[in-house]
Amino acid sequence: MKNLVILGAGTAGTMMASHLKKKLNISDWTITIVDQYKTHYYQPGFLFLPFDTYKPEDVKKTIDEFIPKGVKLVREKIDIIDKDSDTVVLENGTKLKYDILILATGTKTAPGEVEGMLGDYWYKTIFDFYTFEGALALRDKLKDWKGGKMVVHITEMPIKCPVAPLEFAFLADSFFLKKGMRDKVEITYVTPLSAAFTKEKSSAALGHLLKEKGIKIVPDFAVEHIDGEKGVIVDYGGDEVPFDLLVTIPTNMGDEVMLRSGFGDDLNYVPTDKNTLQTTVKENIFAIGDCTNVPASKAGSVAHFQAEILTENILLYIDGKELKPDFDGHANCFIETGHGKALLIDFNYDYEPVKGKFPFAGIGPLNLLTESRLNHWGKLAFRWIYWNMLLPARKLPFITPKMSKSGKNFD
């Protein structure tokens, strides 16, 4: 009997368990998945919690219910990965020997990385919405906030779901308008990037939307510290941006088990081949989703596309064949723009998001990089797709792991 071990039962890990359960011969392979937590959060839903459009119960299910029968779920913290002896050591001392290891430990916020972020003002005037707790604390704050300077802020890249901060700013505009207090709120978007987004064409479209909604942008701002008492964020160049309410995206970091095991980069991300998803740590260790250092978005859609390709590569690896360099960085994201509309972007390592139709050339029905109501409904429908199609690894019709160039206006 051979052992395949998956570390992390979030989006990526659960999808891999579902795929491999279908593809691996169960008389030859034992599949084990390790996660210390009980709850599986629908993380894209965190964006809607502060505005009370999603309720806490909308984004929570148990991890157990998505682990396919025949896959062993171990609920325990991971201590260390010993790559030399092909063993994962758990905190309770249990040793799991593996023939193949898949890392899917994700990324999480590390607010302690910036001086002044955690402390007396955390969840009083400084909030995050990338955690369940943070999103709910912010919801309670917004309930009776009287207005003032709201700053939406990205600490440093890369972050999970890079469009979420923009969406938050758009939804905040919509939220305060509806409450009849938009004139009492000044929204500023502060980013370490040089524009609203890194890719040129979407930056233009999104920058235009910010302007339209009266949201000020402060680009090229790398925060050095936060002064909660004075209510300012200060960058390395000495520039200050004042706030009454700071909604920050803290530094995102990979799991500390990578640091303990000696193979993370300076943000604890695992060095991974960007096309095959085999790590450079050792040939029998693969990585998927947010835990890798590949230059793709840290997003569920990316993990979804990677999962199909990684499954194929694991089967090739088992057969002793050459891996396929098939992952092209494909990402597909809805961007909520407020007032019941959304944008859709589709891109990869080589092609930036452009206008066009998706998934059918010329027909759509979804419009790329253009606001529409249908895109918004697409975003809301995605929650159902996530629980019912993505996690059980059911094939999504018409959506391919590799990005399609048809239907797009590249010029």
Partner 1 sequence: MEKVIAGKSVDVDTNGYLTDLSQWNKDIAIEIGNEEGINEVTPKHFEVLTYLQEQYKKDIALTIRGVGKSGVVDIKELYTLFPKGPLKISSKMAGIPRPKSCI
Which chain residues interact with partner 1 by CB under 8 A?
Answer: 156-158, 162, 192-194, 197-199, 220, 222, 224, 236-237, 265-267, 293, 295-298, 331
Which amino acid would we find at residue 30? Answer: T
Closest approach of partner 1 to the CB of residue 246, in Å? 21
The one-character DSSP state at 366 is E
Q: Which residues contact 112 (CB under 8 A, 6 or more apart)?
A: 118
Closest separation in Å from C-beta 376 to partner 1 = 21
Per DSSP (E only), the strands in 290-368 are: 331-338, 341-347, 356-360, 364-368
> Shortest approach of partner 1 to residue 162 CB, angstroms?
5
Tokens coding 381: 């429908």
* Closest distance of CB 319 from partner 1, Å: 29
Residue 298 vs 341, nearer CB to partner 1: 298
Residue 294 Cβ vs partner 1, minimum distance, rounded to whole Å: 8
| Residue 320, C-beta contacts closer than 8 angstroms, at least 6 positions apart | none
Q: By C-beta, is 4 or 152 nearer to partner 1?
A: 152
**Strand order across the beta sheet in which 223-227 lies:** 223-227, 232-235, 240-242
Of residues 410, 403, 156, 404, the one with CA closest to residue 302? 403
- Beta carbon nearer to partner 1, 60 or 355: 355
Smallest distance, partner 1 to C-beta of residue 235, A: 8
Residue 240 or 265 having the CB closest to partner 1: 265
Q: Is 93 or 237 the residue whose CB approaches partner 1 more closely? A: 237
How near is the Cβ of 266 to partner 1 at its closest, in Å? 5
Shortest CB 402 distance to partner 1, Å: 18
Of 99 and 235, the one with the shorter C-beta distance to partner 1 is 235
Query: Using CA atoms, how far apart are residues 165 and 336, in angstroms rounded to an integer?
Result: 10
Residues 6+ apart with CB under 8 A from 101: 4, 5, 6, 7, 81, 86, 88, 284, 285, 286
Considering the complex, state which of residue 99 and residue 224 has its C-beta at the smaller distance from partner 1. 224
- Strand-pairing partners, residue 217, are 189
Find the length of the chain.
411
Between the alpha carbon of residue 254 and those of residues 45, 108, 293, 399, the distances in Å are 21, 6, 9, 28
Compare residues 4 and 163 and give the one whose CB is closer to partner 1: 163
Dist. CA 259–CA 20, nearest whole Å: 28
